[in-house]
Each structure stands twice: as structure tokens, then as C-alpha cells.
Amino acid sequence: MFSLDEIDFGSVAAQQETHLSSYFYRSGAFIQAGSVNTYLVLGAKGAGKSAIFKMLFELKNEVRSLKHPHIGINDEPQLREHWETLNNHKLSSSKVTLWRFYFASLIAYRLINE
């Protein structure tokens, strides 16, 4: 017999989880996130966005919307850092500008690596 202390419930954050694929549940949210009609995944902290993102990337060959010719960009938004950069350079305090800056950084990153 064993106690509950011996059970591995995984890491608190999906980014630090090493065995996520062995017990990840493909919920409705996961299926929706992999849909061709989904462009943005929103949710509260702890809702599972990072876990879904990580598993979508790992299972990209199984998720129809991520198969060629679509390109998955393995990135986790660093919006707080981008927001600080914009404010430090007094460029703008607009959230629209923040998202434009974020998408421009993704495109620049992709171009540099290609």
C-alpha cells in the first residue's frame, strides 16, 4: 500500500513538466485549440494554455490544422517584457501596439531563422 505523498501529480507549470505527454488529456479545449478556425487561445492563469500549446507542438503531425503547409511557431508570448520595452522607449502605451510589436517580433524571428 502507498500513501498520497508517493503519487506524482506533475509540475505546477507545463513549461517545466517533463512527462506531460504520458498523462495529458485531450479535452474539448485541446481539440478546439487545434481547429483550423482557432487563431488565439485565451484563458485565466492555470487554465491549461501552456499545456495545450506544448502538446499541440508535440503532436503537430497528428493535428490536421498544423500539418504542412501550415507553420507552427514555437513561441510563448513574452507580452510583459514587450510592454516594458515599448514603455521604456516611450513608443506607445496602446495594447494594439503591443500586439503589433509581438507579431512583428515573431515575423522577424522567423525570417532570421529561415
Q: How confident is the model at residue 69 (pLDDT cuts 50, 70, 90)?
A: low
**Interaxial angle between packed helices 79-88 and 95-113, expressed in degrees from 0 to 180 and rounded to the nearest 10:** 110
Rounded to whole angstroms, how far apart are CA atoms 60 and 71?
Answer: 10
- Share above pLDDT 70 across residues of the chain, in percent, rounded to a whole number: 76
Over residues 30-49, the mean pLDDT reads 83
pTM of the model as a whole: 0.50
Q: How confident is the model at residue 8 (pLDDT cuts 50, 70, 90)?
A: low
Low-confidence winner among 28-37, 65-74, 75-84, 95-104 (lowest mean pLDDT): 65-74
Q: Is 52 exposed, middle or buried (0-12, 13-18, 19+ CB in 10 A)?
A: buried
Over residues 52-58, the mean pLDDT reads 84
